[in-house]
Structure 1
Amino acid sequence: MRKVGLRELKNHLSRYVRQVRAGHDIQVTDRGEVVAELLPPRGRTGAEAQRGLADLARRGLVSLGARNDPRLYRRMPRRLKPTELQRLLDEERGER
């Protein structure tokens, strides 16, 4: 694993991101102490993520949201006619 100082990383971030993209792990140091690691993202599939979330929910660490049903929301009536809305937008934007 490669090590890079914080100042060096800041000054050459793109170079180190390219190295991580190529599959290298990089440890970031601050005054000689490792404070962070840059790693390529783990390729998790949607199914793996769902299993992980379900496991966290079973252990009581997260609570999963319910599915959103658009029928639960009433349709909001339009208060302004489209021409009036356009006039207000033009006025706000200075009729660009």
Structure 2
Amino acid sequence: MVDSLLVPLVTRVAGSAADELVQSVTNTWGVDSDRDKLEQWLLAVQCMLPDAEVKVKTNPAVRRWMKELKAVAYQVDDILDDFLYEELHRLNAQDG
């Protein structure tokens, strides 16, 4: 079974990783190189997804990989949301 939500999810997470506020907070916290690696990996995964969506129907390993990818993408999305929250909180504290 093909998960039609995986491509938009990975695309959204890649966009979040590239967001200026996320870049600002990861730079401040000294993890910007990790965020950059994540962004590069997500772009590579985006390139592989169309082929994986074809193979998922017949290859159990690809099906398992896509299921794991989905779980990890949701976790990364939550972490990036936390980064955004922290940066917005910091910016609001500076303004207040």
Query: What TM-score results when the alignment is normalised by the length of structure 2?
Result: 0.23
Larger helix share, 1 or 2: 2
Larger strand share, 1 or 2: 1
